[in-house]
Structure 1
Amino acid sequence: MLKRKYGDRPDWKRVIKKEYRQLFLDTEGFKGYISLIKINSVLEPLYVQYGEKRFCIVDDNYIWLQHFPSEQRYSVTTMFNPKGEVVQWYIDICKQNGIENNVPWMDDLFLDIVVLPTGDVIQKDTDELEDALNQGIIDEALYNIAWIENNNLKELIKANKFDLMKLTKKHKNLLLKQ
């Protein structure tokens, strides 16, 4: 069974107080739902480690913006610090994106890509994808779809042609004005 992740993150226990907004866009550059969580207060910050560097991705006054593009097999979460600077883009490879009870969701296909503002690209959770295949959670077709989508996105990122990343600040500001 694939894990379904919702834009409003209803079970996020670390976050004590948050504000949630979403919007459907149909523009030349993007079609789908965008959601924004303004994290007002947390029980404790969350840090991730990439190589020698440690990054805070959740703390008081952070913003998480998530894109759920229509008819695509990925979702992008952009984490912003309190200064409005991008901390990272986190790209989930997924089976599909959808909407339920007016809240966007994605069915996670395990494989993830992290892009840092420095341009560094980090491949994540290849072991989770392998485990899912070996345990029969996904079949070989979904396994192959995940890798094809992952590799296509990495090529676009490498060529600076993954234009969704260029829209994140604009979309964040659009939701903050709501």
Structure 2
Amino acid sequence: MKRKYGDRSQWKRIIDRDYTQSFFDTEEFKGYVTLIKVNKVAAPLSAKYGEEKICIVDDGYIWLQHFPTNKHHSLTTMFNNRGEIVQWYIDICYKNGIKNNVPWLDDLYLDIIVLPSGKIIQKDIDELEEALSKGIIDESLYNMAWDETNEVMELIKHGNFNLLELANSHKDHLLKFL
């Protein structure tokens, strides 16, 4: 499993950034939220979903990441330089934690992308299958990944995955600290 940190400090594509984080303990959400304001990138990055190509990082973009307490997922909301959401990216993970005051997740391969159009894309099923076949994960982690994916997919389909709705208000809150 790959550990991903909320500050993305190892990401060389981002040349200049501002970073802040906060812990929320509200009725709607409990956990860490990180915000990276991308001031300058070495090169823009786009993701391609079928025929659709979406720029996910460029100068002026903001990445907001939620690390919910006691959940097996993390949500990254990507905003363009006009403050519009370009996608929500959900990492299915073994767990979320914190080290040296920086939130992290242990990635369990499966990902769910939600586009503003409402389109939902599942990714990296092949990576999960490969991790199981190579013994990188056991069957209990494999089942955990699928259980969490299915639960999150159902919440999204029924409009009950509230992190999607919290992204803008949490972004606005954290921007006050930059």
TM-score, normalised on structure 1?
0.99
Alignment RMSD, CA only? 0.4
Give CA deviations for 1:66-98 in whole Å, capped at 9, x if unaligned: 000000000000000011000000000000000
Q: Which residue of 1 aligns with 2:132?
A: 133
User: How many angstroms does 1:51 deviate by?
Assistant: 1.1
Distance of 2:135 and 2:8 partners within structure 1 = 27
Distance of 1:83 and 1:177 partners within structure 2 = 17
- Three-state SS of the structure 1 residue aligned to 2:142 is helix
Give CA deviations for 1:100-144 in whole Å, capped at 9, x if unaligned: 000000000000000000100000000000011011110000000
Paired AA for residue 52 in structure 2? K
User: How many angstroms does 1:10 deviate by?
Assistant: 1.2
Distance of 1:60 and 1:124 partners within structure 2 = 26
Q: Which residue of 2 aligns with 1:36?
A: 35
Correspondence 1:94-173 to 2 at 5 A: 94-173=93-172
Identity value in percent:
63
- Three-state SS of the structure 2 residue aligned to 1:107 is strand
List, as ranges, runs of 4+ consecutive aligned residues in structure 1 with deviation greater than 3 Å: none
Which stretches in structure 1 are left out of the alignment for 5+ residues? none
Paired AA for residue 162 in structure 2? D
Distance of 1:94 and 1:53 partners within structure 2 = 26
Which stretches in structure 2 are left out of the alignment for 5+ residues? none
- Three-state SS of the structure 2 residue aligned to 1:44 is coil
Distance of 2:10 and 2:34 partners within structure 1 = 16
Across the two proteins, how many residue pairs are aligned to each other?
177
